[in-house]
Amino acid sequence: MEHKGLVIFFLTWVLSGFAVTAFSQVPKWKQAEIQGDTLYKRQEFKDAIRSYTRAIELNQTKDKDSYRTVYKRAICYYSIGDYKNALKDVETFEPQFPNVPQAKILKSFLYRELGDDEKQLESLEAAMELQPPDAELLKWRGLLYLQKDNYVKTKADMLLARQLQDDSEIETYLGMSYYNLDQHDSAFVSFNKAIELDATYAPSYLYASSMALEEGNFKLALEYASLNLRLDSQSKEALFYKGIALVELDKKDEGCRCLNRAFYLGMDEASGYLTEYCFEVDN
């Protein structure tokens, strides 16, 4: 999932309400902040950081609203990939505005980039407690639950997300949760729904093919893999699944050709099947 656009959107919360009529009469710290806002809108993030830093240094009031400048600088740090400094600014801002979900969502993005899944989930959950259900956030949290093998919570989030908006990604995650909860029929209903919603979304075919293989339903696995290969004839995963299905269906020549192509496209797992069923791996 791509989240950076959502983070940029959240900056509008702190950029509102600063219209002025006489710039020269505005305090110097506020002038620096307004310059930072202008630079931010131009996506000149490093210069915006310098302006916001100057505003922070000049502002001696230290009232609650002055911390908005710190939040703006955090957004800019995020935008240039300086996640540690962005996190420091968010943690400075957050105690002043503990009920602002945008800050907690930004923390989730930052922990995601820093590879801390536990804190990412913790911040996301805290943000979601402060606002109405949102399909994109439910999808994000559901994926984190899925990665932690918490299929019950993944299923719950995807079912709620589906009530708000349905798309192929939601249906695919739902299918994965159903499958891992041994609700296999429901899983394939969701995978098929994902394909119906977006026939170009490859993961739905791949997960469905993989899970059909696990069930021993090789004809179904072959069908999903073949459909994916119509979208991308060089998909190493689809070639791998198709090769396994064909070999299991006693179509070894064609299956070995698929496995061989998958192997040379970088699917190392194909080597074991090639050795077992096709007798050799070309070097």
Q: What local confidence, expressed as pLDDT, does residue 26 receive?
A: 79
Question: At CA 146, angle to CA 144 and CA 152, rounded to 5?
Answer: 115
Structure tokens at 15: 């950029």
| Residue entry with tokens 């943690």 | 91
Q: What local confidence, expressed as pLDDT, does residue 38 receive?
A: 96
State the DSSP string of 97-155. Answer: STT-HHHHHHHHHHHHHHT-HHHHHHHHHHHHTTS---HHHHHHHHHHHHHTT-HHHHH
Q: What local confidence, expressed as pLDDT, does residue 96 receive?
A: 93
The predicted-structure confidence for 30-42, as pLDDT tens digits, reads as follows: 999 999 999 999 9
Q: What stretches in the chain show pLDDT beneath 70?
A: 1-24, 280-283
Structure tokens at 273: 């099947």
Q: What local confidence, expressed as pLDDT, does residue 187 receive?
A: 97
Say how far apart CA 144 and CA 109 lie, in whole Å: 13
Instruction: State the Cα torsion 157-160-165-166 to the nearest 10°.
Output: 70
